[in-house]
Amino acid sequence: MENNSNQPKEFKKGLYKGVKISVPTLNKMIILGLVVLVGLIVFGISTGGYRVTFNSKGGSDVDYQEAKYGDPIIWPEDPTREGYEFKGWALDEGCKYMADKDMMVETNIEVFACWQ
């Protein structure tokens, strides 16, 4: 009986129809998959970080920032643009929603400069 369960068996129905595989092979696949999964998660945590991109929309360039979850955004010096006055950073390109000064980083975000 024990020996029999190690033989490859074929699925007769369902999405796996026609798949012929044995329990030991599956065990190896599961363990390998879990190892890769854990490795990826560890890699993700150790290299993790979100990027805050500042789009100055034609003004002087502003460097992006790397931040961890929950970090406050460190606002850079105001960019400059000839003939315009800097009004602040917004969450959308149309400057409908202005960014909050105490905003925290929760994912990759891009903020846009507003000019007048």
Partner 1 sequence: MYIIIALTVIFIAIKVPAYRSVGSIINIVSLTASRLPIALGVGGCIVLAGTDISAGRAVGLAAVIAASLTIAGNKIFPGLEPMSPIIALGAAVAATCCIGLVNGIFVSKFKLHPFIVTLSTQLITYGVILIYMKMGTNNGQTLSGLSESYRSMITAPLFTINNTAVPMYVLYAVILTAVMWVIWNKTTFGKNMFAVGSNEEAALVSGVNVSRTIIMVFIMAGFMYGLTGFIDGARIASVNANTGLNYEADAIAACVIGGVSFVGGTGKISGVVVGVLLLQVIFTGLNFLSVDPNLLYIIKGLIILVACAIDMRKYLVKK
Q: Which is nearer to partner 1, 107 or 116 (CB)?
A: 107
91: exposed, middle or buried (Cβ count in 10 Å: 0-12, 13-18, 19+):
middle
- Under the binding rule (CB under 8 A), the answer on residue 97 touching partner 1 is no
Which DSSP category does 43 fall into?
H
Among 1, 63, 107, 116, binds partner 1 (CB under 8 A): 107
x/- mask, partner 1, residues 3-42, rule CB under 8 A, reads --x---x-x-xxxx--x-xxx--xx-xx--xx-xxx-xx-
Question: Least distance to partner 1 from the beta carbon of 82, Å?
Answer: 31
How far apart CA 56 and CA 39 sit, in angstroms, is 38
33: exposed, middle or buried (Cβ count in 10 Å: 0-12, 13-18, 19+):
exposed
Q: Are 67 and 50 in contact (CB under 8 A)?
A: yes
Binding footprint of partner 1 on the chain (CB under 8 A): 5, 9, 11, 13-16, 19, 21-23, 26-27, 29-30, 33-34, 36-38, 40-41, 43-45, 47-50, 67-70, 106-108
